[in-house]
Chains A and B, each alone.
Chain A
């Protein structure tokens, strides 16, 4: 098993009172799996990823990577095996795409080591795989959201990690780039764990889904078994329907908006 999460729970203190963000949850991840984490805002999706990537370390329970407790693994070891692509954030300074992709070498290098031919080759291959080789010397800031996301994935490729963690990789992207990014991710032959808001995209690209709600793991199953209208209606508090899509093997889910009367009643 590549990743084992056992009874993971995490709380924060709010006005001196503990507030539970993640209730004890368990699941495993096999080598090569592509797993999506879905759920409403505040469900604990990003917190779960931050626990797994050890950005949050004071959690309860155990997270094992290749059967080793992650709390006992060094920062550098983790960086050599797990790559994290966070939600896009603005960079203040002007770095080239090549510089950003080159950052993937960081966990594999000692203090005074220089880039070898093999390193440069790895960077070039990652740029080609993500279709960015023509933009290598361009400023990272000047790229579109989709191109920036691809550059960050190229950086993860140079990192040579076994597990790729993506936090909302399709956020702020238009439909074309959403599919482009997810197609790229599924082509990489890596184990992938990602949070994703669009349920239909999630079912299209992630064979297995974890459904979180209020910090609890509500469902962990094949995508079509998780995306059940009754379950989704309960979790997202909106009427949900399943629609057959003639252009895709997967059915689509559709949420209808609440009427104004219903919203007012629920506010009361």
Chain B
């Protein structure tokens, strides 16, 4: 199954490059990628606009799916995802402060502030996690922090100028429109480091599936493992939220599908999440830029619509099965 998902990713990467306002045929694209482009404009479109966008879409989708999968496994909660721990709310607060406080150099200030905001949220959840050893309390703490930070953001937007509010709102809906190749390198670096660390601890993460006490009798330091994985997921999410804005539901929906396909073993779940999460966001971005002529939709809106419909479908199927 992993092989098919890998093939899906390769096909998605190639196919997505052919979509866009400019008409570039598959043979032109092939020449551009592996030989010489037939025009200067096509070189620019493929190498500076489409390729960074498709590659960032892949690594962002893969990273969000992996973060969701790991958060679900370490909390033994199928509904856990990066949004639940206040990471996106923290990034939103950071982006709001930057939008209101800095009128210039927002291209640097906004993602940086979003990253710091996400880190701030994680530090608070971390501090609470150290006090609250029970996993249910940690999840509730994440929800509480998320609401608290969102409330501060809303208050600041309510009292600020409308332009800043618009900017933050658009940013929070998620987009790959402004990504560059250097963002791909940065997100890939964070993702690779995160995956290496997670793979090193895959046995310990698997052991958590039968409960904290069972994992502990298998030699796992449960609290330390959970904090380490929470930090990794926070870094993964924060860097994506900083450059691509808020993209909901991938961390929740993709691991759910992958579990049905390959089971919950951490190694297989991660591999499946990388390929399916990456492919999914590539196609969402294709829809975002080609669904409506001359208008680019925020990708967060599309992932939310698909995600909510998907969960309604799963619940409907589940309830019919029970009958």
What is the number of contacts between chain A and chain B, taking CB atoms within 8 Å? 78
Whether A106 and B214, one on each chain, are in contact in the complex, defined by CB atoms closer than 8 angstroms, is no
Which of B76, B199, B207, B259 is the one whose CB lies under 8 Å from A103? B207
Query: B265 contacts the other chain (Cβ, under 8 Å)?
Result: yes
**Residues of chain B lying within 8 A (CB to CB) of residue A76:** 219
Whether B217 and A109, one on each chain, are in contact in the complex, defined by CB atoms closer than 8 angstroms, is no
Whether B210 and A91, one on each chain, are in contact in the complex, defined by CB atoms closer than 8 angstroms, is yes
Query: A92 contacts the other chain (Cβ, under 8 Å)?
Result: yes
Question: How far is B220's CA from A91's CA once the two chains are assembled, in angstroms?
Answer: 18
**Residues of chain A lying within 8 A (CB to CB) of residue B220:** 75, 106
Whether A86 and B207, one on each chain, are in contact in the complex, defined by CB atoms closer than 8 angstroms, is no
**Residues of chain B lying within 8 A (CB to CB) of residue A94:** 259, 263-264
B131-174 to A contact mask, C-beta < 8 Å, 1/0 = 00000000000000000000000000000000000000000000
**Residues of chain B lying within 8 A (CB to CB) of residue A92:** 76-78, 209
Known: A92-B76, A100-B210. A83 touches B264 (CB 8 A): no
- Residues of chain B from 219 to 277 with CB closer than 8 A to chain A in the complex: 219-221, 259, 263-265
**Residues of chain B lying within 8 A (CB to CB) of residue A103:** 203, 206-207, 210, 218
Whether B219 and A106, one on each chain, are in contact in the complex, defined by CB atoms closer than 8 angstroms, is yes
Question: How far is B76's CA from A92's CA once the two chains are assembled, in angstroms?
Answer: 6
Whether A107 and B259, one on each chain, are in contact in the complex, defined by CB atoms closer than 8 angstroms, is no
Query: B38 contacts the other chain (Cβ, under 8 Å)?
Result: no
Question: How far is B77's CA from A74's CA once the two chains are assembled, in angstroms?
Answer: 29
Chain B residue nearest to A105 (CB atoms) is: B203
Question: How far is B217's CA from A86's CA once the two chains are assembled, in angstroms?
Answer: 10
- Residues of chain A from 232 to 251 with CB closer than 8 A to chain B in the complex: none
Nearest chain B CB to A88 CB, angstrom units? 10
B168-210 to A contact mask, C-beta < 8 Å, 1/0 = 0000000000000000000000000000000111011011011
Known: A86-B211, A94-B263. A99 touches B206 (CB 8 A): yes
Question: How far is B200's CA from A96's CA once the two chains are assembled, in angstroms?
Answer: 21
Chain A residue nearest to B216 (CB atoms) is: A55
A79-109 to B contact mask, C-beta < 8 Å, 1/0 = 1101110100101111110011011111101
Which of A53, A93, A159 is the one whose CB lies under 8 Å from B264? A93
Question: How far is B72's CA from A103's CA once the two chains are assembled, in angstroms?
Answer: 19
Whether B217 and A84, one on each chain, are in contact in the complex, defined by CB atoms closer than 8 angstroms, is yes
Whether B73 and A93, one on each chain, are in contact in the complex, defined by CB atoms closer than 8 angstroms, is yes
Nearest chain A CB to B133 CB, angstrom units? 13
Whether A93 and B76, one on each chain, are in contact in the complex, defined by CB atoms closer than 8 angstroms, is yes
Whether A95 and B211, one on each chain, are in contact in the complex, defined by CB atoms closer than 8 angstroms, is no
B60-99 to A contact mask, C-beta < 8 Å, 1/0 = 0000000000001100111000000000000000000000
**Residues of chain B lying within 8 A (CB to CB) of residue A55:** 213, 216-217
- Residues of chain A from 25 to 53 with CB closer than 8 A to chain B in the complex: 53
Chain B residue nearest to A110 (CB atoms) is: B200
Whether A91 and B209, one on each chain, are in contact in the complex, defined by CB atoms closer than 8 angstroms, is yes
Whether B78 and A106, one on each chain, are in contact in the complex, defined by CB atoms closer than 8 angstroms, is no
**Residues of chain A lying within 8 A (CB to CB) of residue B221:** 75
Whether B210 and A78, one on each chain, are in contact in the complex, defined by CB atoms closer than 8 angstroms, is no
Chain B residue nearest to A93 (CB atoms) is: B264
- Residues of chain B from 9 to 39 with CB closer than 8 A to chain A in the complex: none
Nearest chain A CB to B322 CB, angstrom units? 16
Which of A79, A91, A93, A111 is the one whose CB lies under 8 Å from B219? A79
Known: A75-B221, A76-B219, A93-B78. A84 touches B214 (CB 8 A): yes
- Residues of chain A from 140 to 181 with CB closer than 8 A to chain B in the complex: 159
Known: A89-B210, A94-B264, A103-B210. A82 touches B217 (CB 8 A): yes
**Residues of chain B lying within 8 A (CB to CB) of residue A107:** 218-219
- Of B73, B200, B203, B259, most buried by chain A (CB within 10 Å of CB) is B203
Whether B218 and A95, one on each chain, are in contact in the complex, defined by CB atoms closer than 8 angstroms, is no
- Of B76, B77, B206, B259, most buried by chain A (CB within 10 Å of CB) is B206
- Residues of chain A from 116 to 159 with CB closer than 8 A to chain B in the complex: 139, 159
Whether A95 and B209, one on each chain, are in contact in the complex, defined by CB atoms closer than 8 angstroms, is yes
9 closest residue pairs by CB, A with B: A79-B219, A93-B264, A107-B219, A84-B217, A111-B200, A76-B219, A106-B218, A106-B203, A92-B76
Given A93-B73, A103-B210, 19 further pairs, Cβ under 8 A: A55-B217, A75-B219, A78-B219, A79-B217, A80-B219, A82-B217, A83-B217, A84-B214, A89-B211, A91-B209, A92-B77, A95-B263, A96-B263, A96-B265, A99-B263, A104-B218, A105-B203, A106-B203, A106-B220
The 24 listed contacts between A and B (C-beta, < 8 Å) are A76-B219, A86-B214, A89-B210, A89-B214, A91-B210, A92-B76, A92-B77, A92-B209, A93-B72, A93-B78, A93-B209, A93-B264, A94-B264, A95-B206, A99-B206, A99-B264, A103-B218, A105-B203, A106-B203, A106-B207, A106-B219, A106-B220, A111-B200, A111-B201
Q: Name A residues whose Cβ lies closer than 8 Å to a Cβ of B.
A: 53, 55, 75-76, 78-80, 82-84, 86, 89, 91-96, 99-100, 102-107, 109, 111-112, 139, 159
